[in-house]
A and B are shown apart, each in its own frame.
Chain A
Amino acid sequence: MNTLFNEGSNLAGAVDRAFIFIFTIAILFTVAITALMIYILIHFSRKRNKHPQQFSGNTKLEIIWTVIPLIIVLAMFYFGWVGFAPMRQVPADAMQVKVIGRMWRWEFDYGNGKISNELVVPYQRNVKLNLVSVDVNHSLFIPAFRVKEDVIPGYNNFLWFRPVMKGTFDIYCTEYCGLAHSGMLAKAIVLDSLDFKKWLADLKVTGNLPDHPGLAIIKANACLTCHSLDGSKIIGPSFKGLYGRKSTVVTDAGEKEIETTDDYIKRSITDPNAEIVKGFNKGLMQSYKDKISAEDLDKIVDYFKTAVEKK
């Protein structure tokens, strides 16, 4: 079920009005020109008309058939523009889906590592597709929705629509992309809001989770150069199973037992040499007191507390 007559999105109506306007005029003119041509061939045929008239121009006619077509094409331009303008104005509340084009398949990334091979969208909800390519040019085309935009490496192209018809619709790649270009297909499936939520909840996590904000800070400060995540010993103690770990630390006042919790973690970042875990050397780590804000320290603690493997 996928022809021109399926108006599958909110944008389709205006596109089809432009089609009907242009095609109506096109058919009228083509028929009129052809009929006139046939009339001339018959009525002014050499058999019937041995004495050709010799007129060679008429300024009034030239003006008429310049101005009238001009008005007509400007009207066509207007309908095309009006149908197109909303396609570039994305509603602020639109649900965002990242579309990844690669030779030769589509991936639809719903965030949190949930990546689908079909574009599933909720009925009557504004959807914005952010289009990225990982290799060559592609183009995402959903005929039933009257939307198409190229997917170009290095560009952040987009399109949007609101599905107004439930069902399954074809998605094509319409920018030639090599051997299996014609196999670069997918489906757009429009579901009820509840069904959509269920579908999204059931969608398996296959992609990489985005980093925990605390881990992002850890990476940004190059902590992992000296502290491993997998338990191996580099220069400092590994982060694996850090939170709640009982260690012996060396202080100026001698050795003591501590449990690694919020306070100790923060102190180790802002004043690393105060309490060194036994077996590691003093003086190798600098203080990050001015480099990592209190807020970020909380995020790092939260990372150790919730996201790092415990054992």
Chain B
Amino acid sequence: MTNTSTAEPLNYLNHKTGLWSWLTSTDHKRIGLLYMYTITIFFCVAAILGLLMRIEKIAPGPTIMSAQTYNGMFTIHGIIMIFIVVIPGLAAVFGNIFLPIMIGAKDVAFPKLNLFSWYVYITGACLGLYSQFANGHSPDTGWTFYVPYSAEASSNVVIALTAAFVLGFASILTGLNFIVTIHRMRAPGMTWFRMPLFPWSLYATAWIQILATPIIGITLLMVIAERTFHIGFFDPALGGDPVLYQHLFWIYSHPAVYVMILPAMGVVTEIFPTFSQKPVFGYVPIVFSSMAIALVGYFVWGHHMFTSGISYESRWFFSFLTFIVAIPSAIKVFNWLSTMYGGSVDLKPPLLYAISFIFLFTIGGFTGLTLGSLATNIQLHNTDFVVAHFHYIIFGGMGFGFFAGIHYWFPKIYGRMYNFRWANIAWGFLFVGFNLLYFPLFVIGIQGMPRRYFDYDPKFQTGEVLSTIGAFILIIGLIGMISNLVYHAKRGAKAPANPWHGVTLEWQIPSPPPHENFDEIPVITHDPYVFEHPNTK
């Protein structure tokens, strides 16, 4: 470390000040934080909508809202969470802040494009909000916009579709930026297989973003054209084919699940070696499993359509491939466990969140297998079981992966440390609340409780009430976690440059990092996860 004076040294947070310096910054770290703040705000809004829906369902029949309000609420909850929070999520926040640092670069390949992407994203996000509050009904189609309903519904569907379309462009541009950055800007000596695994996961993710996202863009435009100019693509009343829409939608939206989960896998892959002080077990298998997920993930979309009337042959074919895509995820779990095995394991908050990720992701993965299996899918499709499954994957996986990441990199980002006890208690509420919220939905889903139901049969009430209680506990945990982080971002104890004894490049520079990351571009001479000191300590 070059700068050890007691006055606050210049870093990316304080070298310029004022709102304008943030809104015009092309520094990847500042852009990452811009994403984080907007995503956090939208996440809180959508989480509150989720809580309101849970309160509504504490009893059968109308409780606090009308059916139309409920239908609009689960739609906007889905649109915000999927398109505004989870898809950009980890890649846009931690990818932006840490990808260049971890590969030894001063910034991404196209810094201005990076800032532009954020403005595109903000435009899309604002359109999404506008669709909720503009004249007429808020959209009530579900985030899947299934035609013909979305072609006929009288609500603000076109604005919501435009929002998703615009957000897609932000995703494509970020993916493009990351691919070029990884190809062209790795530090001297950093061969592909000396690159840390979080950048690898971003690389796999970025390919999905740029190859799959245009398909949803075209598809959403087709729905807009259908609604506006009555061109029959999907609506049978206009001579279109409603199942074609489902194909096009899921060709994007299934790979999009891997856009959500792959970076989270990358984050925990960084955390396990650091908190075990031991190299990653199976570096190469983890790399190839990421790429395999990205590749095979393209060919399993049909499992969202097992009951849509697609041919018998395509049903078993998609089921078969769905089981194949489970294997790379299993390989990752075994490698993570083996990374910790034999290490010197320090159960600090980041690791606590990371092992919760494994637990929740395992449950999400196995319940996914019952959805991939043809016979059981027939029973479970479009029930609350599916809702529970994808919340275990997306919230339990991507969400807890994000929480693990923010607790891991917080001292690097802000140069301050949060309160460990506070973080652990918040984790307890989150973990218990999460499982109480979503696990009962598995049970009532198997019993036949359909999803997107405003009203329900009283025989499902026990599960619904437990779930609502879980939602309150989860919200308490979220408030606890966020307030711990917000409070300590400025007031926490000063964090050293390398509080966890990590070995990747971000831990070799001061906290917070200087504006251009490195005074001198490092030269890489060895594998990314070499822990030299522990045996001599």
Partner of B326, one of A14, A53, A73: A73
The complex places the Cα of A173 from the Cα of B367 at a distance, in Å, of 23
User: In residues 426-460 of chain B, which contact A (Cβ within 8 Å)?
Assistant: 446-448, 450-457, 459
User: Does A30 make an interface contact (CB < 8 A)?
Assistant: yes
The complex places the Cα of A231 from the Cα of B276 at a distance, in Å, of 95
User: How far apart are B513's CB and chain A's nearest CB, in angstroms?
Assistant: 27
Partner of A34, one of B236, B280, B327, B359: B359
- Indicate the size class of the contact surface on chain B: 35 or more
- Contact between A54 and B279, CB atoms less than 8 A apart: yes
User: Does B63 make an interface contact (CB < 8 A)?
Assistant: no
Partner of B448, one of A2, A46, A51, A152: A2
- Contact between A44 and B376, CB atoms less than 8 A apart: no
The complex places the Cα of A33 from the Cα of B315 at a distance, in Å, of 31
What is the 8 Å Cβ interface bit string for chain B, positions 278-313, against chain A (1 contact, 0 not)?
111111110000000000000000000001110010
User: Interface majority SS on B: helix, strand, loop or mixed?
Assistant: helix
Contact A147 B347, CB 8 Å, known A73-B369, A179-B68, A180-B67:
no
Closest Cβ neighbor of A34 among chain B residues: B359
Most buried by B among A2, A84, A88, A155: A84
Number of residues in A with C-beta < 8 Å to the partner?
81
Contact A150 B374, CB 8 Å, known A33-B337, A143-B448, A179-B67:
no
Partner of A154, one of B236, B315, B363, B366: B236
- Contact between B448 and A49, CB atoms less than 8 A apart: no
User: Does B516 make an interface contact (CB < 8 A)?
Assistant: no
- Contact between A54 and B309, CB atoms less than 8 A apart: no
Say which one of A63-71, A113-121, A233-241 lies at the interface with B: A63-71
Contact A26 B334, CB 8 Å, known A44-B340, A155-B243, A178-B153:
no
Partner of A22, one of B366, B447, B529: B366
- Contact between B376 and A152, CB atoms less than 8 A apart: no
User: How far apart are B9's CB and chain A's nearest CB, in angstroms?
Assistant: 31
The complex places the Cα of A13 from the Cα of B487 at a distance, in Å, of 56
- Contact between A3 and B447, CB atoms less than 8 A apart: yes
- Contact between A55 and B281, CB atoms less than 8 A apart: yes
Q: Residues of A contacting B344 with CB < 8 Å?
A: 44-46, 49-52
User: Does A203 make an interface contact (CB < 8 A)?
Assistant: no
Say which one of B86-94, B142-150, B212-220 lies at the interface with A: B142-150
- Contact between B362 and A81, CB atoms less than 8 A apart: no
Partner of B278, one of A52, A74, A144, A148: A52
Partner of B282, one of A57, A74, A87, A146: A57
Q: Residues of A contacting B333 with CB < 8 Å?
A: 33
User: How far apart are B393's CB and chain A's nearest CB, in angstroms?
Assistant: 14
User: Does A280 make an interface contact (CB < 8 A)?
Assistant: no
Partner of B452, one of A26, A49, A51, A176: A176
User: In residues 368-384 of chain B, which contact A (Cβ within 8 Å)?
Assistant: 369-370, 372-379, 381-383
User: Does A293 make an interface contact (CB < 8 A)?
Assistant: no
Say which one of B114-122, B199-207, B316-324, B465-473 lies at the interface with A: B316-324
User: Does B18 make an interface contact (CB < 8 A)?
Assistant: no
Could you list 19 A-B pairs, sorted by A, with CB under 8 Å? A18-B373, A19-B446, A29-B362, A37-B340, A37-B355, A37-B359, A50-B344, A51-B344, A56-B282, A57-B283, A58-B281, A76-B323, A81-B375, A83-B373, A137-B242, A139-B381, A155-B309, A174-B450, A181-B454
